Amino acid sequence: MSPISTSVFELFKIGPGPSSSHTIGPMLAAHDFLEDARSLPPDLLARVASLEVRLYGSLAATGRGHGTVRAVLAGLLGHRPETCPPDILDAMSRFDSGAVSLDGRQIVISEDTVVFDYLTVPDHHPNTIRLRLKDDSGAVLHEREAYSVGGGFIEWQGQAPPERPEVPHHYSNMTELLEIIAKTGLSLPEVLMANEMALTGLSRQDIAGKLEHVMRVMEDAVERGLEEEGPLPGPLGLHRKAKALFERYRQDPQMQDRPILALCACAFAASEENAAGHTIVTAPTAGGSGVLPAVLYVTKNLRPTAGVFRKDLREALLAAAVVGMLAKHNASVSGAEVGCQGEVGVASAMAAAFLGQVYGNPAHVIENAAETALEHHLGLTCDPVQGYVQIPCIERNAMGAVKAFAAYQIAAAEVPGHHMVGLDQAIKAMAETGRDMCAKYKETAQGGLAASVRC
């Protein structure tokens, strides 16, 4: 298998929720399609009368609840996920119609620009989006097909992946990574840092600065969510709970389960911000974006430990990233492909690895913590009620954070040689389970809680 050549900052994307595959990916596809279209021959552009964006598979099934229409329109209007306003989807909810410029001509766009194709079964990926330029008769002048493969990553039909710089350390799974660590004497973060410098061309200091920014955005999502209350957008009428949970945490300093309540409050906070369509960090996806920020926030701000410094937090973020990259490389982090085991399950494994690294454990403990967290999410379905990333998604993030904490405690206390299951085996099991899982339990809002809960 080819070695991992994903940048940490491709995994940790900054953008609007509530779904990296349904908002961040489609926004990026729409933006890039229009940018590419502007380089088409002028005589072809002169004939363009309309734009059409067709959604297939999971994008069609849950696109309205996941904010896909608003994300696509924002992308067509020139917004990119990493630079768009934090409340861009709120603003787009008031969007009636607008225009995009193509070779000096104004092409009108509205919600009708986005078409939901519920009948066509996509061949390549369940998150398929096709973008078209049409003439006055409706004939297609130019089209491209893209696949939103999870975590905000986009693949274009017929387009080979870009060439990647050579990295000093080649690994495609955790076993190979541990062999590199044993052979070189480097720590896990040092291996990741060396590869990241090669991939991005950035200095160690620049990468540290970008990691700080990622952590700051994660913390901002938690802090905003802890202050907000009231119902979330959409027809479910689901009320935010983070503020009430956090107030309960602050009221009783003698409560024995305070760390658990703190994790839950912070995970609710970031997940509720994601559900509102506000800015989050994909970790590994938007649907799982409450888990790692909760663990980070509690570790840094609510249960600070002597001897844990900013450098330790940055290195722990690298340890979390490698788990997400391994899962994406060898299975998937897309709920439409493998269910929520690939979103909240992987997020929990990443958070467990974060804890293992931040408290100075060796690589095998970090692996064992991540494996334990992932193992106990295997088979988890993706069944959003009415297609909104609210029920059961928000509470699942809280449970993922709690499981990460428990997984780390187990891994740190057990005799390492007694740990029987490797992370590679758990990721393989996740991939096989995802392949066997019925489609109605994979982000289509057709099975599980989505079918049994009526709001």
Token digits for 380?
Answer: 């988890």
Considering only CA atoms, which of 287, 296, 312 is closest in space to residue 220? Answer: 296
Mean residue pLDDT of the chain comes to 94
Query: What is the per-residue pLDDT for 305?
Result: 74
Q: What residues of the chain score a pLDDT lower than 70?
A: 255-256, 306
Question: What values do phi and psi take at 99, rounded to 5?
Answer: -145, 145
- Rg over alpha carbons for the chain, rounded to the nearest Å, is 22
Compute the distance between CA of residue 272 and CA of residue 289 in angstroms, rounded to an integer. Answer: 10
Determine contact, residues 339/434, Cβ cutoff 8 Å: yes
Considering only CA atoms, which of 403, 332, 331, 416 is closest in space to residue 370? Answer: 403
Considering only CA atoms, which of 159, 170, 158 is closest in space to residue 199? Answer: 170
Query: What is the per-residue pLDDT for 150?
Result: 83
Q: What is the pLDDT of residues 291-316, one digit of tens each?
A: 999 999 999 998 777 677 889 999 99
Query: What is the per-residue pLDDT for 306?
Result: 63
Task: Provide the whole-model pTM.
Answer: 0.91
Output DSSP code: residue 303. S
Query: What is the per-residue pLDDT for 256?
Result: 66
CATH of domain 16-156: 3.30.1330.90
Token digits for 104?
Answer: 């000096």
Question: Helices 174-184 and 363-375: crossing angle, nearest 10°?
Answer: 170
Domain ranges in the chain are: 16-156, 174-452
